[in-house]
């Protein structure tokens, strides 16, 4: 339960930071957008998908009998390192903070899958 809530808290904190200061988060992760489509996509992922993932994790923490939702929530967390692995073959290993995020997402996602 605590792991699900902890991961949800991280997702929500980043989501709130995006809502408050999107350019700061974009700079932290190495993104730059010069058009509205890029900014829209950034918000779709960092606000839309991440807040719903957090909601799934919170729900799973309080209703552990809903095992299928817990598995899907864990897979949503693992979707990020899976995407980073695809990017690894296209452009190499992420650098800086993104490398740490890759490791934490992988460990957290696998741990969530194990507990789900």
pLDDT of residue 29: 82
Which residue, among 74, 87, 84, has the nearest Cα to 114 in the 3D structure? Answer: 74
pLDDT reported for residue 23: 86
Quick one: which of 80, 81, 84, 77 has its CA closest to 111?
77
Tell me the C-alpha to C-alpha distance, in Å, between residue 98 and each of 2, 60, 64: 24, 27, 31
pLDDT of residue 31: 83
The DSSP line for 46-59 is: IIIIHHHHHHHHHH
Q: One digit per residue, pLDDT tens: the chain, 116 residues?
A: 888 999 999 999 989 999 999 888 888 888 888 888 888 988 999 999 999 999 999 999 999 888 899 999 999 999 999 999 999 999 888 888 888 888 988 998 999 888 88
């Amino acid at each position: 339960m605590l792991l699900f809530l902890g991961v949800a808290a991280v997702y929500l904190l980043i989501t709130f930071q995006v809502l408050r200061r999107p350019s700061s988060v974009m700079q932290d992760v190495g993104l730059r957008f010069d058009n509205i489509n890029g900014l829209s996509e950034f918000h779709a992922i960092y606000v839309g998908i991440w807040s719903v993932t957090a909601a799934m994790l919170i729900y799973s923490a309080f209703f552990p009998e809903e095992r299928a939702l817990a598995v899907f929530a864990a897979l949503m967390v693992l979707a990020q390192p899976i995407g980073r692995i695809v990017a690894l073959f296209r452009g190499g290993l992420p650098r800086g903070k993104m490398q740490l995020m890759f490791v934490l997402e992988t460990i957290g996602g696998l741990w969530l899958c194990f507990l789900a």
